[in-house]
Amino acid sequence: MRIRRVASQPSATFSLNSLDHNIKHTLRVKGSSRYMDDLLLFGPDTATLLGWRDAIAAYLKSNLRLSLHPDKELIGKPGRGVEYLGYRIYPHYLHVCSRSVKMLRARLDFFKHLLWPERFPLYQAPMRGTWQHIMENGDLIPPVRPDWPLLKRMENTINSYYGIMGHAQSYKLRKSLYHKHFGPLRSFFFPADAGYTAVNVPKRFLHQ
């Protein structure tokens, strides 16, 4: 479930501390997690979860003048997993959400377009983040020379996704993405280790 009308995500860390104590000590929820305004609770049955939901909603309203988001609440069975912070969580393992994989593939397609626009037409420009600002400012006009600063910036972006995948059971996924979707980018980015936990740009490109 998600809390709405929090002034900002960083402020949620502090303003919702009292809610954390209420969940743990008053409701006595044994399994719970909160990141900013996202809440995840584990309970024995649906009735218990609904009871906790109502108690949390009442606490937010009376103590913090906040409310739960009406359209961002999900009750699911453990065997089906639940999506939370970029993962699908199961009782004994994690999978990476398909949305995160799709976003990484879109970034790789964008990088290939920057370097080889004739071979890789741009189907979707970045809609957010650093690369969107770079494109809007006209700082990169394809084809772009793959110099060291650009490759390192690409490396950081790729490794941010690989870092997310590294917390889940995703070795085969990381390996498959590298060999099947990097394409000619493999000329610049090499696996950091046998587990494909990250990619590195060899330092020889520093002087090219």
194-205 per-position pLDDT tens digit: 999 999 999 988
Burial status of residue 91 (CB atoms within 10 A of its CB: 0-12, 13-18, 19 or more): exposed
Specify the pLDDT at position 128: 77
- The conformational region for residue 147 under phi > 0 = left, psi -120 to 50 = alpha, else beta, is beta
Q: Which residues have CB under 8 Å from 3's CB, separation 6+?
A: 12, 16, 37, 39, 60, 66, 67, 68, 69
> What does the pLDDT average to over 142-170?
94
Nearest to 184 by CA among 142, 146, 134, 138: 146
Nearest to 110 by CA among 138, 140, 79, 87: 140
Specify the pLDDT at position 10: 53
Q: Does residue 18 or residue 78 have the better pLDDT?
A: 18
Task: Dump strand ranges (E) for 120-159.
Answer: none
Specify the pLDDT at position 13: 57
